[in-house]
Amino acid sequence: MAASVKEMIEAANAVVPKITPDQAKAMIDKGGVLVVDVRDAPEVAASGKVAGAVNVSRGMLEFRADPGVPYHDPRFTKETTIVLYCASGGRSALSGKVLREMGYPRVYNMGAFKDWAASGGAVEKA
């Protein structure tokens, strides 16, 4: 049965906890957190990213997260807490669901980059 993007995001939101920028800041301050920006490179270049975040576009996420492929990024480990964000929260929700399906137990969706920036979160420019 075919699903709409709206239905897919709703399903992702049902399994990936949504957190606020302040909750993300607290998690980051404790350490052991990988912050992942799943926007495309031109978006990141235009606005910057969360300070210390790694940019992995949505289309490459599975390849960076899977230790069995040559594109794996060793920062992705099952022991690491992962906080995802994008422009509005949709891609990060879908990304979180995929990571959960891949066996990553601690995955959170911070939602929109603009909310992080508006909350006074540290931003680094390209």
Range 107-124 average pLDDT? 97
Radius of gyration (C-alpha) of the chain in whole angstroms: 14
- Which regions of the chain does DSSP assign to beta strands (E)? 33-37, 49-50, 54-55, 81-86, 107-112, 123-124
Which band of pLDDT confidence, cut at 50, 70 and 90, is reported for residue 27?
Answer: very high
pLDDT in tens, 70-113: 999 999 999 999 999 999 999 999 999 999 999 999 999 999 99
The CATH homologous superfamily to which domain 6-119 belongs is: Rhodanese-like domain (3.40.250.10)
Residues 6 or more apart from 30 whose CB is under 8 A from it?
Answer: none
Comparing CA positions, the residue from 125, 76, 123 lying closest to residue 102 is: 76
Which band of pLDDT confidence, cut at 50, 70 and 90, is reported for residue 1?
Answer: low
- Predicted TM-score (pTM) of the model is 0.95
Domain boundaries, the chain: 6-119
Which band of pLDDT confidence, cut at 50, 70 and 90, is reported for residue 2?
Answer: confident
